[in-house]
Amino acid sequence: MKKVKRRAMSVLAIILCLMIGVSVFTYRFFSQGSQWVNFTANKHIYSNGVLIGGAIYDRDGNPLVHTVDGVRKYSDNESVRCATMHIVGDKKSNIATSLQKVYADELMGYNTINGTYSVSGTGNSVYTTLDADICAAAYEQLKGKKGTICIYNYKTGEVICLVSTPTYDPENPPVISADDDNYDGVYINRALSSRFTPGSVYKLVTAAAAIDNIDDIFEQTFTCHKTEVINGQKIICSGTHYEENFEKSLNNSCNIAFGNISRQLGWNTTAEYAQKLGITTAHELSGIPVVKGSIATSGGDNELSWTGIGQNTDLVNPFAMMRVVGIIANHGMCVEPYLVEKVTNSSGFRTQLPPNKTEKRYLSQSTADTLSDMMRSNVRNKYGESNYPAGMEFCAKTGTAELDGSQVSHSWFVGFSRNEKYPYAFVSFVQNGGSGAKVAGVAVTRVMTAVKEKVDSQSTAN
Ligand SMILES: [Zn+2]
């Protein structure tokens, strides 16, 4: 009898172990199944570490990457290949934020029920909002520099251009040595994964806070004699601007005036607006993570002044800065920028829900429109209307961010076309590029001219 009992207990123990094993497997199958399939040694999906299934297209249906007769092929145009390498991904999966990496499941057509089943065995298609021609135009402007140009439609949220340099042709990858400065940070998408000292483009955030929180800001007069001593430390301006009102102080990008404004705002309001306008928020672009910026939140009056000027320890992500000018352009509402329009299977059916287009108010309409007028005034009264595409009603802000030691300043230029026939907001950034207007400004103006020509030619064709 004892023997029978012992045997029964053993059988029960075995059954119990089996049940635990099956449960663990089932849990892992559902939670990690896609990772097993995604494993780069899986020869059904990867060839020498290269994803072989799925295609990525631009907004006009031009292939950015696809598989033809079993061979992975990028765009026929070299400039397009270089321009879109960070978004599409290279052949070795070096770009962590690329669509081939982030959308690997969708491209393979993986789901838990069917595995990597797809009728033709070619995987799925990811349709982006990118315009390959505009991306190529941006790449031509950034070639040989380190930087980024991003443009999105502030009415619809569609990102039409997102280019980061240095880059390379994914069909002909170069041999990159570790100490080659020309390829420094080549696998990083500077628009999404980097943060830089913003300099004067950040004055837009400070100006928004001032309009909302300083009652008599438009009656105040600031006096700039190039330097001012605050708590024994100097605030230095790029020029000597004498007496100026709030609007003129933005035209002049006067550090003395914006230092004064920052001190009137105080640390709490400065931090509140950095948060409110999404500078210190971690955004996502169609599932691709975007790094968040950081703005100093304590210190003396000198540090507070430099913080509102966009210096001190301020670090801002270019994509987040583009979002800020998009909010100003769209009367205080943000239509979240997005990149992936749809994913379809080989039969052309949508496999993913349409993008969740969210629209939310970040600034009151009157604050946004006042800022928009001030940015328009920058162009008309300071930068020179004739330097920008006629008819776009350019609104802009320059930034020449000073860096420690002998480093050349970062060049920034942000803004938008106020003519809603061309509803595009942009950020242009050149690392150690020097003057904001002359480098980043000139580069993005040429790209926006291409955008205008494309919109005009399409409206004529229709
Ligand atoms: Zn000044």
Per residue in 339-350, pLDDT (tens digit) is 999 999 888 888
DSSP strand pairing (410-417 vs 424-430)? antiparallel
CA of 240 to the centre of ligand 1 (A): 5
Ion ligand 1 neighbours, Cβ < 5 Å: 224, 237, 241, 254, 256
CA of 226 to the centre of ligand 1 (A): 5
**pLDDT value of residue 39:** 52
CA of 300 to the centre of ligand 1 (A): 21
Report the alpha-carbon distance of residue 26 to residue 13 in Å, rounded.
20
CA of 48 to the centre of ligand 1 (A): 58
For the chain (462 residues), the mean pLDDT of every run of 10, in chain order, is 78 81 67 53 53 87 92 95 97 93 85 51 88 98 97 98 97 90 93 97 98 98 97 94 98 98 98 97 96 97 97 97 98 97 87 80 98 98 96 97 92 97 98 93 97 93 76
**pLDDT value of residue 119:** 45
Task: Count the Cβ atoms, other than its own, within 10 Å of residue 370.
Answer: 21
CA of 418 to the centre of ligand 1 (A): 27
Closest CA to 401 of 326, 319, 306, 277: 306
Burial letters for 394-406: b for 16+ Cβ neighbours within 10 Å, e otherwise?
bbbbbbbbbeeee
CA of 412 to the centre of ligand 1 (A): 19
- Tokens representing 249 are 């102080």
Burial letters for 18-41: b for 16+ Cβ neighbours within 10 Å, e otherwise?
eeeeeeeeeeeeeeeebeebbeee
CA of 328 to the centre of ligand 1 (A): 24
CA of 264 to the centre of ligand 1 (A): 17
CA of 376 to the centre of ligand 1 (A): 20
Q: Decide: 290 and 152 in contact? Cβ < 8 Å.
A: no
CA of 224 to the centre of ligand 1 (A): 5
Entry pTM: 0.89
| pLDDT tens profile 366-424 | 999 999 999 999 999 999 999 999 999 999 999 999 998 889 999 999 999 999 999 99
For the chain, list the domains and their CATH numbers: 191-339+358-461 (3.40.710.10)
**pLDDT value of residue 115:** 54
CA of 227 to the centre of ligand 1 (A): 8
**pLDDT value of residue 459:** 86
CA of 249 to the centre of ligand 1 (A): 7
CA of 258 to the centre of ligand 1 (A): 9
